[in-house]
Amino acid sequence: MQLNKKLRTFLVLGGILLLCSIQQGLTATPAEVYQEAVPAVVLLVSMEPNSKTHSKGTGSMITNQHVLTNAHVVLGDSGRPMDKTLVFYSFENPNDGIEQNFRKGRQAKVSHYSEKLDLALLEVEAPPKVTPLSLGPADGVQIGDPVLAIGHPENGGLWSLTSGRIGARIRNAKGVRGNHIFQTEASLNRGNSGGPLLNEDGQMIGVSTSIARKAADGLAITGINFAVQSDVAREWLQSVGLRLPKVMAVSVNRLALTPAPEKPVAAAPETKPATTTATTKPTQPAPPAKEKPAPVGVSTPPKVKEETQLLTRPRPFRDDELFDHISNQTYSEFSQQLEAEFEAFQKQQSR
């Protein structure tokens, strides 16, 4: 009898240890999540060739051809998409201050955008084959859950990884019905705009959007960063005609997979197909409220009032060398193409 009791105790303890080891084995490390996700995270550079308006941000491949990012990364002062947006991938552009050639920029076209939600959908010309990031369920995310962010922060390295936890869930941010966001302590800075906020299973549960750095009275604010919830992004993408597969939500004990619950956005915000025609009237953003956070995709520090706004349009920033290099590279390639065509024409005429 005593032997059977000891045996049962041993089996129970053994089962607990086995369960713990299985749970640990199913949870990826931050390094594993990063290695899996980073090929689908892109650097976005948008420019107006005939002006000083330019913007650097981050995006996520969510299909084999589509990139999800922030609207303020690709929209100019006119409220319309900037003339040129280039997409760069980590495996084609070394994170090296000497060897950053950025020769592999692919053209992208803004197909739809929503200024109210600060979301934009891009189509990339001839994209490489990468595994897209999946939009995970935001409904089950709890305050205190660990998260990771990947992006290109100002004065930092490209494709940088930061980590933190969910600090709050905020509904109807900036008074926009259906604009639900996460607050996170994961470090975000200008250049992280549009990048993915990932859970520990590598699913994108948010789109990094804005930060708070200075209060109206000048007091410094730290660790307050925001991301549009993935369920909001999914509903918006469906509203513009892009259907994504359902993502399985990993349960708390990491042992069972259940379908993610679908919660409709309370009201569909205004969405616009992208156009560059002069007749298009840009959406007028709502008047800013006091002490609102600033966007993270712009690098030149704006005035205090602008810095405390949420979802503002892009402004020029300090990565002048990057823009100069890309502009010079584009001009050089164009010149080489013209010279090659002229030489071919001369050879044809001499025959």
Report, as residue numbers or ranges, the catalytic residues: 66, 118, 193
β partners of residue 246? none
**In contact, 210 and 316? CB cutoff 8 Å:** no
CA 343 to chain centre: 43
Q: Is the dihedral of CA 223, 209, 137, 124 positive or negative?
A: negative
What is the per-residue DSSP string for 22-75?
HHHHHSPPHHHHHHHHGGGEEEEEEE-TTSS-EEEEEEEE-SSSEEEE-HHHHB
Cβ density class 254-274: b for 16+ within 10 Å, e for less:
beeeeebeeeebeebbebbeb
Coil/strand/helix, residue 243:
coil
Cβ neighbourhood burial of 111 (10 Å; 0-12, 13-18, 19+): middle
Q: Which of 61, 57, 117 is nearest to 82 (CA)?
A: 57
